[in-house]
């Protein structure tokens, strides 16, 4: 992982990772403190800042990823292009670009803010809870993907119709439809009406 001012505090000099801290927020998205990542997701969950990225190709197809089987939360399920949490003090836009590069090996182009959404989604399989104030971003994927296998099990570009069919028969993350629906106005602006989003 590239070392930035935000990530420098999250790895120690001997190369071991410190506990990952998340930014706790109130219902308006104002920072009120921090919590360790796993603790923030344990029931009933603590409201924290997150981001979700939706990248599209030139044909208006959405890039999905299937989360790696080794992930502690929602392993092996399909989800949006990239999602995660800013480090405390890290701007959501910077975190979204950083994490997309870390997971998929690409730098998104035309990345733009697409609003926020607040939700509370328990994950029955793990018992963890997503209490998130989520910053949404849309953009383009215009480079060859180089996924990190520890993060990403598989990728696929899908049309709106293909997504509906896949969603009906395949497990997706608990938060996927909430963030997709919240991002749809910005997605339509990016892809045009003919893409069907």
| Residues designated catalytic | 83, 132
- Tokens 């910053």 belong to 135
* Calpha distance 178→32 (Å, rounded): 24
If one counts every other C-beta atom within 10 angstroms of the C-beta of residue 47, the result is: 19
**C-alpha torsion angle, residues 141, 98, 92, 10 (rounded to 10):** 160
Spell out a b/e string for 114-129, using b for 16 or more CB atoms within 10 Å of the CB, else e: bebbbbebebeeeebb
* Calpha distance 182→187 (Å, rounded): 10
């Amino acid at each position: 992982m590239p070392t930035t001012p935000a990530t420098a505090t999250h790895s120690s000099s001997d190369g071991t990772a410190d506990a990952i801290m998340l930014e706790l927020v109130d219902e308006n998205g104002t920072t009120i403190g921090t919590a360790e990542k796993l603790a923030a997701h344990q029931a009933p969950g603590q409201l924290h800042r997150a981001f979700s990225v939706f990248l599209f190709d030139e044909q208006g197809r959405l890039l999905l990823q299937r989360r790696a089987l080794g992930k502690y939360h929602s392993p092996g399920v399909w989800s949006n292009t990239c999602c995660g949490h800013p480090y405390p003090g890290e701007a959501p836009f910077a975190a979204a670009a950083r994490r997309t590069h870390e997971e998929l090996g690409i730098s998104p182009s035309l990345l733009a803010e697409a609003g926020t959404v607040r939700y509370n989604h328990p994950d029955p399989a793990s018992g963890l809870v997503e209490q998130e104030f989520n910053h949404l971003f849309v953009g383009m994927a215009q480079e060859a993907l180089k996924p990190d296998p520890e993060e990403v099990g598989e990728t696929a570009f899908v049309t709106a119709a293909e997504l509906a069919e896949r969603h009906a028969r395949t497990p997706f993350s608990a938060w996927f439809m909430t963030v997709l629906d919240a991002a749809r106005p910005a997605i339509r602006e990016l892809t045009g009406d003919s893409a069907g989003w």
